[in-house]
Structure 1
Amino acid sequence: MAGSLAQLVASPADLVKVQMQAEGRRVLQGLPPRCTNLKQAYAKIYTESGLLGFFRGSLPNMQRAALVNMGDLAAYDYTKKLLINDFGMPDSTSVHACAALIAGLTAAILGTPADLIKTRLMNQPVGPNGRGLRYAGMVDCFRQSVKNEGILSLYNGFIPNWLRMGPWALINWVVFENIMIAVGEKTF
């Protein structure tokens, strides 16, 4: 819940980030950029869609955050306990690192489809009513993606996602566990 709520609050900034990143593709296609700075990006979204426009793609964004956090926490906990209890390994940095790498992989597997849908919803052009022109919503985006590109299209961008989440999980969990050990507290 905390991850979802935080992502709801951050969704407007994420929308602007996604749209500004898409400008590079427009420039490469010889099209003029729709915005060149943050102020223009926020103004463009507000002009096209009003205040609610800043929350386009927020539902899959929130789902992505929940899935990533759930996958990360559950996989780390399960893997660490498995290595210690079933394989007899000591509660050590190598166990933490192994569990963290599995946690990062799990987070990427669970989060990538929602990330793809979120990005497509955020990048779609909007009509005069401020609504998206390609997708009627999250479910429509999912259906169209699978129908037109196949089920594996939901994992477009998986490798870069994993390359981002894997190191993050590794650093996060190893540092967390070592801090807990250093202050004499129970590890995760």
Structure 2
Amino acid sequence: MDFLMSGLAACGACVFTNPLEVVKTRMQLQGELQAPGTYRRHYRNVFHAFFTIGKVDGLAALQKGLAPALLYQFLMNGIRLGTYGLAEARGYLHSADGTLNPVRSAAAGALAGVMGAYLGSPIYMVKTHLQAQAASEIAVGHQYKHQGMFQALTKIGQKHGLVGLWRGALGGLPRVIVGSSTQLCTFSSTKDLLSQWEIFPAQSWKVALAAAMVSGIAVVLAMTPFDVASTRLYNQPTDAQGKGLMYRGILDALLQTARTEGILGMYKGIGASYFRLGPHTILSLFFWDQLRFFYHTYAK
């Protein structure tokens, strides 16, 4: 039941934040491996990107990749939050005196995130391809011509086999390790501190909401460079064998980005990442916490 509640919570958040994921993906691919000032900026900021995509591609384009995004969130976060929730409920994350152990919490969050992200990697790759697709006048990055999620998965599988479906999976894991461990550790630690300080009434929904807000800020700062590299790894063109033509792996993507675009290039789309990851983290963790509380209090 913990896995189901975790997946549903993440899907609920995804419906509201997917347009920001589309904006984030395109801003991260804009000016890929080009020095600042040498390329045309189709998307100047988050708000301009929303306006441009809606005007040129149509408002429906802001929900591109929603189907794989929902499936990925259900699969990835169902496993990630569900596994972490079980570890927390059974006391594995607490020290002998009952206080939360940050090291155990971070390790459990990272391990749970790796499990979910690796299994959901093919879905995430297709989501990235679909969200990057745009009209030629505002297109950025490599353009895949997929017709939908199932067609894309079938095409990639037939052409490159299972290896092709999991292309970029290992490169995407550092993003998830950093993001998941930061998110769950800061959420649990902040929630624990707020409860100890008695800032809000016991079992108040405000405790979970405040902890999720703190977690959202921490996640964006820690995860954005790895998120940029991961997006580019998944979206890069491939040769006949399905091997990436631009990057050899996550470290190569980070180094090339820093060398050609500067350190700020590694933080491209951070505004969109904050507006997307912040609300998504807040909503998913808040829904997850409240669903678990309701189930363990009333449903059993």
TM bucket normalised to smaller: 0.7 to 0.9
Equivalence map 1:14-163=2 (5 Å): 14-24=124-134, 26=136, 28=138, 34-46=145-157, 48-85=159-196, 88-90=198-200, 91=202, 92-163=204-275
Give the letter aligned to residue 293 of structure 2. M
Deviation for aligned residue 1:104: 1.3
**1:3 to 2:108 alignment:** no
State the alpha-carbon separation in 2 of the partners of residues 51 and 182 from structure 1: 38
TM-score (norm 2): 0.53
Output the CA distance in 2 between the equivalents of 1:99 and 1:121. Answer: 32
The answer to which structure, 1 or 2, has the higher relative contact order (CA under 8 A, 6+ apart) is 2
**C-alpha separation between the residues in 1 aligned to 2:138 and 2:241?**
29
Q: Indicate whether 1:167 and 2:279 are aligned.
A: yes
RMSD of aligned Cα (Å) = 2.9
Superposed CA deviations along residues 66-92 of structure 1, whole A, max 9, x for unmatched, are 22221111112222334444x552343
Residue 12 of structure 1, CA deviation: 0.7
TM-score by length of 1: 0.80
Residue 96 to residue 54, structure 1, CA distance change in 2 (3 Å): same
What are the ranges of 5 or more consecutive residues in structure 2 without an aligned counterpart?
Answer: 1-110
Which residue identity is paired with 1:76?
Answer: F
Whole-Å Cα distance in 2 between the matches of residues 32 and 108 of structure 1? 26
State the alpha-carbon separation in 2 of the partners of residues 33 and 74 from structure 1: 37
Using the aligned pairs only, state the percent identity. 30
Q: In 1, are the aligned partners of 2:237 and 2:246 still within 8 Å (CA)? A: yes
Gap regions ≥5 residues in structure 1:
none
Which segments of structure 1 move beyond 6 Å, counting only runs of 4 or more? none
Task: Give 1:179 shift.
Answer: 5.0
The whole-number CA distance in structure 2 between the counterparts of 1:178 and 1:14 is: 26
